[in-house]
Chain A
């Protein structure tokens, strides 16, 4: 090993060999989504950490960083946290999720409804 510290943070970001598929019209859009999804993930991480702190404070009154790092939820807490993450995902994914509803039922544009309402 060389004298320089191994930069594991840079190494963790390594790209997989193989051309990345393009989903949107511009490469910028691909990258904006990858940044946004990373942030979406990190907000979930913060919420889970906060939940750990709250649960430990409830149980112990005072806590250390070690308490947080070594916290293991019991079965009930694990389920409640799963529900918390799920609720969060449903909230941030509202737009894409509503696309599914739109596909189930085609609705006329509001302009059209507006014209119709003038007549009734």
Chain B
């Protein structure tokens, strides 16, 4: 069979690369993730288009007949669609797929939690590149619900000091994205590296701040691409930081210091002390009050001519059809992402200006996951996009005071 007429199937979980703290799956645990990866492809590819068909053929006509007008926002569409039998069934299947992914991932990890904790200790103990702070409290926007239906969220522990949360998050990314993020689920981080090398060839940032790093999967590629650079990766949750540090060390990324800190208060770092401040799919997991504080603190610690970059899903601008906004909102209401809907309705340009940037310094761009296409699938976009999780991001960025710096140089 030639390569161009193959069916769209997910790669096997055995193709995922292992690192020093990877859980070791049994044959059947691999098979569970193989099923889920292919099932998620089925849900978004074969079944997903039924949502638009149900909307066009019966939900919208019924709404117009009852209300005498078009829906005015994505919330009205959601309420109408939630009463439709096709959308109910599709949503129920998708929710079950998420819950099964969590159960399957936790079962792999918790069965061998003592071995995994011991492996992590070998990489963590006595290293000054892991800095935990028991004084850091988990903010309400992280603790109100378990994000992604992930029991315990990012900060849960089965034993004091364990890494189960990080190991579960890491292993299950494969099933959720059907391999779309590549062998180490680091397609986002690799995309960052490719983007910066193209955008500013030869640039050597001296110091980078990664906010909301979770398991560090998106910062390791950057650390390996810029081995001379000092990288500070922060998160509020200790369990993911312990895992992230061990994972990074085992992959040879020893220039990342993982620090337990809340990005709303970066007072321990001086003004202008970073060349690059960034987040990857993090801002939608904060809150309406935290987001501006984080941007403002990020602006303060960013050096002149430094880069701020946020990878996110595209905002719900006026040109985006309301039905698409509704579909993109699915995770907000069905996958425990309470800030998702409000965050994507924000005008990020306004938020960046409020944080201190000059409007002329702002830019937007697209960043696609970079993975090994021989083994892992092309990121789905367009019709088949798995709204909310597709391996393609919108990037909001700014070069701080770049105009002033340039004028001074001239």
Name the B residues within 8 Å of A38 (CB-CB): 100
Name the B residues within 8 Å of A83 (CB-CB): 7, 9
Q: Do A16 and B145 have beta carbons less than 8 Å apart?
A: yes
Q: Do A23 and B27 have beta carbons less than 8 Å apart?
A: no
Within 8 A of B (CB), among A7-52: 8-9, 11-18, 20-21, 23-24, 30, 33-34, 37-38, 41, 44-45, 48-49, 52
Count of B interface residues, CB-CB < 8 Å: 63
Name the A residues within 8 Å of B146 (CB-CB): 16-18
Q: Do A34 and B99 have beta carbons less than 8 Å apart?
A: yes
| A29 CA / B151 CA spacing, docked (Å) | 23
Is A100 in the interface zone, CB < 8 Å from B? Answer: yes
What's the minimum C-beta distance from A11 to chain B, rounded to whole angstroms?
5
| A1 CA / B151 CA spacing, docked (Å) | 21
Nearest CB in chain A to that of B337: its residue: A18
Is A63 in the interface zone, CB < 8 Å from B? Answer: no
What's the minimum C-beta distance from B208 to chain A, rounded to whole angstroms?
32
Name the B residues within 8 Å of A99 (CB-CB): 50, 85-86, 89
- Known contacts A16-B149, A48-B30, A100-B53; 13 further A-B pairs (Cβ under 8 A): A11-B110, A14-B151, A21-B333, A33-B96, A44-B31, A81-B12, A86-B9, A86-B38, A89-B39, A89-B42, A93-B47, A97-B46, A99-B89
Report A's interface with B, CB cutoff 8 A: 1, 6, 8-9, 11-18, 20-21, 23-24, 30, 33-34, 37-38, 41, 44-45, 48-49, 52, 68-69, 71-73, 75, 78-79, 81-83, 85-86, 89-90, 93, 96-97, 99-100, 103-104, 106
The 5 A-B pairs of least Cβ separation, nearest first, read A82-B9, A18-B145, A103-B53, A8-B110, A48-B31
